[in-house]
Structure formats: C-alpha cells, structure tokens
Amino acid sequence: MSLTINLSGKTALVTGGGTGLGQHTAIRLAEAGAQVILASNDVPSIEETAEVIRQSGGEVLAIETDVSQPDSVSQMANQIQKELDGIDILVNNAAIYPSKPVEEVTVEEWDQVFAVNSRGYFLCAKAAIPHMREKNWGRIINISSITYFVPFSNLIHYVSTKGAAIGFTRALANELGAAGITVNSIAPGAFPTKAEEIHEDRDAYNQKILDSQCLKRRGTPDDIANTVLFFASDLSSFITGQSLLVDGGWAVS
C-alpha cells in the first residue's frame, strides 16, 4: 500500500527556501500540490528556486524577507494575504550558523543568531496564526538540529537557538491545539549540503558521520522533505508538540 500526500488548496511558506534542505522541501511541497511561498533575504536563490517550481508546473511566490525584522515579516504576510489569502503551512527553516569558540562570540553575534533563528520563528508563526485560526486548521513545522541532542563545539549560539526551537514548539503546540493547529519540530542530522564545504577533508568528514550513525548511509534531502510533508498533511493530524530526529540514529548510537 502506498500513501499519497495531496496538499492541493493549501499554501505553504518556507523561510530560507532558496538553498539547501529548505529549497528541496519547497520543491517537494509544490509537487504535492501546495502553493509555495519562498521567503529569504537571498533574493537570487529564491528566484532561482521559484523558476524551478514554475518549470515543473507548480505555483510559487518569492518574497524578499528578513525574518529577523518585524516590519519585513509584516510586509511579507500582507502580500501573502493579498495574493494567496493566507498561510496554511509554515516551515520555519531560515537560519544562520557561524562557527567560532565561545570566547570569541561577541554579544552582537549572539544577538544576530538569535534574531534570525529564534525571533524569526516567532515572527513568522505570529504572522501565520490568524489565518490558521480562521480556518481552524494549520501546520507549523520548526526546524531544529541534531546539534541540540549531540554536543558540538564552536556553535554555542546556533545550538542554543535550536534548543529554543524545541521549547518554542512545545509551548506553541499547547497554546494552539484548540484551534486545530499542530506544531512540531524536525531535528535533521548531518546532510550533504553546501554547509559541509567548511570541512577541508570531505572524505574524512563523511566517514566520521557514517561512523556516528546507526544507519550506514548519508541522509538525503528527501529524508527531510518527506518528514515535512508528513507533518504538513492530515496523516499527522493527531501529533503535536513533538520533536523528531531525522538523523540516521546518530543521537542513540
């Protein structure tokens, strides 16, 4: 038996949807029938992704947005409301991940990472909730990280925001459940994206990841996109407040 996820008639906002796992997730949401909104301050990336979706027959809207800024998120939400009526599915994915030892992290850098990775989640959720309440249906999917569950060095600000994403998910799920809105988070493990280019010896890094996982293959973008599709669909309608590790068993190995 196979299950088909059909998101026709739904709008899905993917922040940071122009690159990496966010890009692939946005494309898969469009393939499932959703009208996709790509939001990022990296305009070339979302325009390129939008064109890929259009070429495949999907419906897409690309909006330049700084998710850390209330005015920018408000303008984005107003445009979505005007053109597409509102947001049914929110994938809070946009994040920055500078790497340096804790002693070298400045207050300004700490605040900037939290502004994008935590405040951005809050602002986008707040913008999406009114339409979801009106429809008595909504899906909020917050991207966390394996780094919250397995210690990582030189990422103190990033890891802290990914822990915050899990607390945010649980609190929001509790508050919005009566309105028919589910809120869940996904914690990806290590995936072969451009973020890995910081590692000079890619072969050694790849082997290190495989040695860390129970499953002896690298994750693929589809592993995350499929999980997002599940949480975005009615297949997960009785699941909320959960954080799902998609990590090949890294956290338990």
Residues marked active site are found at 158
Can you list the alpha helix ranges (DSSP code H) found in the chain? 20-31, 43-55, 70-84, 107-114, 120-135, 156-176, 202-212, 221-232
CA distance 118 to 204: 32
CA distance 212 to 13: 33
Of 154, 47, 40, whose CA–CA distance to 97 is shortest? 154
Residue-by-residue DSSP string for 90-155: EEE---------GGG--HHHHHHHHIIIIIHHHHHHHHHHHHHHHHT-EEEEEE--GGGTS--TT-
Of 159, 150, 98, 141, whose CA–CA distance to 243 is shortest? 141
Of 17, 15, 12, whose CA–CA distance to 117 is shortest? 15
CA distance 25 to 191: 13
CA distance 43 to 46: 5
